[in-house]
Amino acid sequence: MNDRVPGFSTLAVHAGAQPDPTTGARATPIYQTTSFVFNDADHAASLFGLQAFGNIYTRIGNPTNAVLEERVAALEGGTAALAVASGHAAQVVVLQQLLAPGDEFVAARKLYGGSINQFNHAFKSFGWNVVWADTDDIASFEAGISPRTKAIFIESIANPGGTITDIEAVAAVAHKAGVPLIVDNTLATPYLIKPIDHGADIVVHSLTKFLGGHGNSLGGLIVDAGTFDWSKGNKYPMLSEPRPEYHGIKIQETFGNFAFAIACRVLGLRDLGPALSPFNAFLILTGIETLPLRMQKHCENAKAISEFLHGHSAVASVNYAGLPGDKYNNLARKYAPRGAGAVFTFSLKGGYQAGVDLVSNLKLFSHLANVGDTRSLVIHPASTTHSQLDDAAKVKAGAGPDIVRLSIGIEDKEDLIADLDQALSG
Closest by alpha carbon to 321, among 348, 294, 303? Answer: 303
Residue 280 — very low, low, confident or very high, per pLDDT cuts 50/70/90?
very high
More confident residue, 1 or 5: 5
Q: Please, what is the average pLDDT of the chain? A: 95
pLDDT at 302: 98
Q: What CATH number is given to the structural domain containing 43?
A: 3.40.640.10
User: Which domain, by its residues, includes 47?
Assistant: 32-287
pLDDT at 190: 98
pTM check: above 0.85: yes
CB neighbour list of residue 316: distance below 8 Å, 6 or more residues apart? 346, 347, 348, 349, 402
Handedness of CA 145, 151, 156, 159 (dihedral sign): negative
Give the tens place of pLDDT for each residue, 213-225.
999 999 999 999 9
Mean pLDDT of 267-296: 98
For residues 180 and 303, membership in a common domain is answered with no
Q: Is the pLDDT of residue 397 over 90?
A: no
pLDDT at 382: 83
For residues 117 and 180, membership in a common domain is answered with yes
pLDDT at 1: 41
For residues 107 and 200, membership in a common domain is answered with yes
For residues 221 and 361, membership in a common domain is answered with no
Q: Is the pLDDT of residue 398 over 90?
A: no
More confident residue, 63 or 426: 63
Q: What CATH number is given to the structural domain containing 413?
A: 3.90.1150.10
* Whole-Å CA distances, 363 to 100, 139, 214, 367, 415: 48, 44, 19, 9, 10
- Asked if 301 and 409 touch (Cβ cutoff 8 Å), the reply is yes
For residues 282 and 147, membership in a common domain is answered with yes
For residues 41 and 105, membership in a common domain is answered with yes
For residues 263 and 311, membership in a common domain is answered with no
pLDDT at 399: 80
Mean pLDDT of 353-380: 94
Give the tens place of pLDDT for each residue, 167-224.
999 999 999 999 999 999 999 999 999 999 999 999 999 999 999 999 999 999 999 9
Please count the structural domains in the chain: 2
Q: Is the pLDDT of residue 2 over 80?
A: no
Which alpha helices (H) appear in 57-166, and where do they start and end? 63-76, 87-98, 113-120, 139-143
Q: Is the pLDDT of residue 333 over 80?
A: yes
Q: Is the pLDDT of residue 119 over 60?
A: yes
Residue 121 — very low, low, confident or very high, per pLDDT cuts 50/70/90?
very high
- Asked if 196 and 77 touch (Cβ cutoff 8 Å), the reply is yes
For residues 358 and 317, membership in a common domain is answered with yes
- Asked if 109 and 137 touch (Cβ cutoff 8 Å), the reply is no
- Asked if 154 and 180 touch (Cβ cutoff 8 Å), the reply is no
Share of the chain above pLDDT 90, in %: 88
